[in-house]
Structure 1
Amino acid sequence: MGTMDISSILLCLSLMGWIRMVSSTHAECSIIHHLQKQENECMLEMNKHRGQHPSSSNQTAGCAIEWDGVSCWPWALVGETVSVSCPLPLQHHNLPHVLIWRNCTSQGWSRPSVSYYRACFHDESSIEEDDTADQEYFALVKLMYSVGYGVSLGSLCVAVLIFLTFRRLLCTRTYIHLNLFSTFILRGVAVFVKDAVLFEDKTLDHCTVSTVGCKVAVTFFQYCVLANFFWLLVEGLFLQTLLIFSFANKRTFFWWYTFIGWGTPSVTIVIWTLLQSQYNNLGCWDDLDSALWWIIKTPILISVFVNFIVFVNISRIIVMKTKTPDSSGGDKPLCRRLAKSTLLLIPLFGVHYIVFALFPEHVGIKARLLFELVLGSFQGFIVALLYCFLNAEVQNEIRKAVSRCRTQTEGNNFNMVVTQDFTA
């Protein structure tokens, strides 16, 4: 097979790699694994044939078994024609079936009748144009979510610093906010670590590499994603608790929420890690086609659907409380103040995830990447904006601190002037 044909196949595989690079798994890996399996079977057939027919290595006896990088061509007599089809993982069901044939000549195998690229994809020009457009799109998505996570990391670190600086802001509600901020920070860091470990080296075959480092990076990433979803769930549950139980012991609830937010992901990841190492210890543990992926995906889907139900219930409770004539006047401002930011946040992490949760992974991949990766990358920034920068209590504390600093500065300047006049 010619060099151009091999490079065309690799171009297609690299495009698929771009798709999965931004969605944390590899679609092309199934193709590479299929080709590796076929190559191993072909090598075994070669060795078997050589053992049975030692003289068959002579070219005049025919054409030897050959692996061309995609297909295994069987032993054939001179003058015989052998055909193979496009490899199964590369076949398009909506395109006509094309056979690739070669003649066995006295000089060896002839060139293929048609390139694999043309046989598998038919219209090379349109495919190459689509490849270029798709690669540009996925590169743009990767750039956008990298910028988004960078902005989120910066804003969340500032928000955490603000809450820790102004100790009077700390309460059960802000402790939950800080835990949520922490999961967004960890998630952003995990994304950059995973991309650096898995995709920084372009020459590395990430489909076959299987190191402790890449497995740790993927495991850490999955844990951060789980923790992030469950602390988003905790935010909704906590608001619902405040609206239903006005005089509840918030400290007791906080420990339960801590177990939900950190404990549930920890237990899930431990189970997933043990099963992965025992039954599917291949690659970097980032194969979303594995059945073990449901150990992680199921809790995430449950948290998303529960959060959506909580959102609907919170909306109902707030409407009832604000419209009830005999509700205490102190409760209404509290309900509105506490609910405002969360009501704005819950649709962000609930509605669009539910929409895509109902479809398979391969459906609407461009829209899915746009919503789940690009929008999700800026989610930490929006959380910091709603819960910290636009929070009235935080703004009041900052104004007081600025006022005290200004007053102290003016007082120091006045004392300096008086001292200078006295010593003059």
Structure 2
Amino acid sequence: MVAQNFGIVVKLTDGSMVTFCVDTPPLEWFDMRKDDPTTFLAQLELDKKLKCSFCPRIFDKWLCWNETDAGSTATAPCPDFIPGFFPTRNAHKACLEDGTWFRHPDSNSTWSNYTMCVDHADYEWRRFIISLYEFGYFLSAFALIVSLIIFCSFKCLECTRVRIHKHLFVSFIINNILWLAWYRLVVNDPILLVNNPWWCQTLHVFVQYFMVANYFWMFCEGFYLHTLLVLAFFRSETQLLKGFYVFGWMGPVLPMIFYVYCRATDTRDETCWVEQSSWNHILSIPVCLCLVLSLGFLINILRVLLKKLKDNQKNFSSALRRNSSIGGVDNQHSLKKAVRATLILIPLLGLHYLVIPFRPDPGSKRLEAIYEVVAAATSSLQGFCVALLFCFCNSEVINVFRRRCCPRMMEDKSPTHRADNSCAPTNRGDEKAERNESI
């Protein structure tokens, strides 16, 4: 649209002349001048010969461009809400000689030049990191769904420990699927961030809720394991499970309500709430508290485990006297069990997140790149590691498949096996013994 406007010449009382452009002639001004000349300190004259040509104000869904003189180029800082854009750089928009904005020949629509906003090498790197997240979340969700089907299909696996595993797996699955939706629907669509639809903010709320719930269920895993190994007795596993259900699924509700209220009432928060805000601390505090307590559980579990291994070594004191080399071998075996227990419990309790917050300085690009790869791999593949360690590599699950696939072989190897092919511990003592043995 060509913006041809009338030029208004303002003759001031001191005799000086000022010219400016308007969209339509202000005819009422001249009527008022004729009726009551004293109301004007200046005399207005309409110069019909003078034409002003400029590009009108326009919003391209990313930036608002002001009126620009024909034949010039408008400049504006790059938007800071677009991933990969540098706000310190400038975007450009060309206004042609005829007072129209430049149109791209391919789309035949007005086009703003944002190419200078992007560091293309950095953009490609960010795309690689996002792809790494998407691959990890997809692989984890698939492995966890298969694991959940296995746990639900074989009733002989049913026990308190597996019930907690199933709820943890569900929180992982939903969390991973929601993150995939977030990356696909929101992160890759900058225009959506500008429009800021209600469903986008709703998706953000669900992503944050299930992320916090996932941490809470990791805490439940650590608390149950700590109770099982460290405490000699507790009243009722049924009551304990009910407490886990309430804490794991209802615990995140209160901080989420406070978080949503604060972000919804903050007028600065737009762009689907994708930007980091000080309100994120509302969710970070309970998550960090769960991680710190889980770390305490791990330390105490390892202390008890090493003490039990040390007590078992004393039972072989007579053998140690006969052969001094046995002691070294037994110590190495105990150390290996402790290291294995630590490596297994770290992904289950989410303790690798205690290292991720320590991001290198922005100036060290190589360290920052290593950090981003490690953070993407550990965060997105945590669910896969948990499914691998606690389902696919679980001796009970393996024995179930062996009994179903090769029942005769199992009868030959273990003639005293249970008649009902049960694989779950029948009581708390059996479960505690199997947990000690598995670690």
TM-score w.r.t. structure 2 length? Answer: 0.60
Give the AA of the match of 2:215: F
- Aligned: 1:380 with 2:383: yes
Unmatched tracts of structure 1, length 5 or more? 1-45, 77-82, 101-106, 109-115, 330-335, 408-424
- Aligned: 1:142 with 2:145: no
Unmatched tracts of structure 2, length 5 or more? 1-20, 30-43, 93-97, 100-111, 317-335, 411-439
Instruction: Give matches, 1:391-402, under 5 Å.
Output: 391-402=394-405
Q: Once the two structures are superposed, what CA deviation does each residue of 1:344-386 show, in whole Å capped at 9, x if it has no partner? A: 2316764542223245997976444323333222211111111
Aligned-residue offset at 1:185:
0.7
Q: Once the two structures are superposed, what CA deviation does each residue of 1:164-210 show, in whole Å capped at 9, x if it has no partner? A: 1221211111111111111111111111222343246x4x6133222
Give the AA of the match of 2:284: K
Q: Hey, what does 2:216 align to over in structure 1?
A: 230
Q: Hey, what does 1:271 align to over in structure 2?
A: 258
Q: Once the two structures are superposed, what CA deviation does each residue of 1:293-327 show, in whole Å capped at 9, x if it has no partner? A: 22122222222222223222222221122213599
Q: Hey, what does 1:208 align to over in structure 2?
A: 194
- Aligned: 1:390 with 2:376: no
Instruction: Give matches, 1:343-382, under 5 Å.
Output: 343-346=343-346, 350-359=350-359, 366-382=369-385
Closer/same/farther in 2, CA of residues 215 and 308 from structure 1, 3 Å limit: same
Give the Cα–Cα distance (whole angstroms) in 1 for the partners of residues 359 and 49 of structure 2: 54
Give the Cα–Cα distance (whole angstroms) in 1 for the partners of residues 149 and 398 of structure 2: 14
Q: Which residue, 153, 168, 186 being the options, matches 2:174?
A: 186
Aligned-residue offset at 1:391:
0.8
Q: Hey, what does 1:221 align to over in structure 2?
A: 207
Give the Cα–Cα distance (whole angstroms) in 2 for the partners of residues 164 and 379 of structure 1: 21
Task: Give RMSD over aligned pairs.
Answer: 5.1
Q: Once the two structures are superposed, what CA deviation does each residue of 1:87-129 show, in whole Å capped at 9, x if it has no partner? A: 7968888x9xx9x9xxxxxx99xxxxxxx99xx99xx7xx97x
Q: Hey, what does 2:15 align to over in structure 1?
A: none
Q: Hey, what does 2:304 align to over in structure 1?
A: 317
Closer/same/farther in 2, CA of residues 348 and 168 from structure 1, 3 Å limit: closer
Give the Cα–Cα distance (whole angstroms) in 1 for the partners of residues 125 and 408 of structure 2: 49
Report the secondary structure of 2:192's partner residue. Answer: coil
Higher mean C-alpha deviation, range 246-255 or range 362-371: 362-371
Higher mean C-alpha deviation, range 143-152 or range 160-169: 143-152
Give the AA of the match of 1:174: V
Give the Cα–Cα distance (whole angstroms) in 2 for the partners of residues 323 and 285 of structure 1: 55
Closer/same/farther in 2, CA of residues 403 and 143 from structure 1, 3 Å limit: same
Give the Cα–Cα distance (whole angstroms) in 2 for the partners of residues 389 and 87 of structure 1: 49
- On the 8 A contact 2:346/2:352 being kept in 1, the answer is no
Give the Cα–Cα distance (whole angstroms) in 1 for the partners of residues 176 and 79 of structure 2: 37
Q: Once the two structures are superposed, what CA deviation does each residue of 1:14-39 show, in whole Å capped at 9, x if it has no partner? A: xxxxxxxxxxxxxxxxxxxxxxxxxx
Larger RCO, structures 1/2 (Cα 8 Å, 6+ apart):
1
Give the Cα–Cα distance (whole angstroms) in 2 for the partners of residues 164 and 338 of structure 1: 31
Give the Cα–Cα distance (whole angstroms) in 2 for the partners of residues 361 and 157 of structure 1: 38
When Rg is computed on C-alpha atoms for both structures, the one with the higher figure is 2
Q: Which residue, 253, 272, 289 being the options, matches 1:302?
A: 289
Give the AA of the match of 1:158: V
Report the secondary structure of 1:388's partner residue. Answer: helix
Closer/same/farther in 2, CA of residues 179 and 338 from structure 1, 3 Å limit: farther
Report the secondary structure of 1:208's partner residue. Answer: helix
Give the Cα–Cα distance (whole angstroms) in 1 for the partners of residues 45 and 240 of structure 2: 80
Closer/same/farther in 2, CA of residues 72 and 399 from structure 1, 3 Å limit: closer
Give the Cα–Cα distance (whole angstroms) in 1 for the partners of residues 76 and 137 of structure 2: 44
Instruction: Give matches, 1:156-175, under 5 Å.
Output: 156-175=144-163
Closer/same/farther in 2, CA of residues 362 and 292 from structure 1, 3 Å limit: farther
Q: Once the two structures are superposed, what CA deviation does each residue of 1:51-92 show, in whole Å capped at 9, x if it has no partner? A: 9x988999979998986987988999xxxxxx9996796888
Closer/same/farther in 2, CA of residues 264 and 72 from structure 1, 3 Å limit: same
- On the 8 A contact 2:306/2:338 being kept in 1, the answer is no
Aligned-residue offset at 1:226:
0.8
Report the secondary structure of 1:270's partner residue. Answer: helix
Give the Cα–Cα distance (whole angstroms) in 1 for the partners of residues 274 and 64 of structure 2: 25
| Between structures 1 and 2, the one with greater strand share | 2
Give the Cα–Cα distance (whole angstroms) in 1 for the partners of residues 149 and 312 of structure 2: 41
Q: Once the two structures are superposed, what CA deviation does each residue of 1:262-319 show, in whole Å capped at 9, x if it has no partner? A: 1211222222223333335843542343222221222222222222232222222211
Closer/same/farther in 2, CA of residues 177 and 341 from structure 1, 3 Å limit: farther
Report the secondary structure of 1:356's partner residue. Answer: coil
Report the secondary structure of 2:270's partner residue. Answer: coil
Give the Cα–Cα distance (whole angstroms) in 1 for the partners of residues 256 and 314 of structure 2: 44
Report the secondary structure of 1:207's partner residue. Answer: helix
TM-score w.r.t. structure 1 length? Answer: 0.61
- On the 8 A contact 1:159/1:384 being kept in 2, the answer is yes
In the comparison of the two structures, how many residue pairs are matched? 339
Give the Cα–Cα distance (whole angstroms) in 2 for the partners of residues 58 and 223 of structure 1: 64
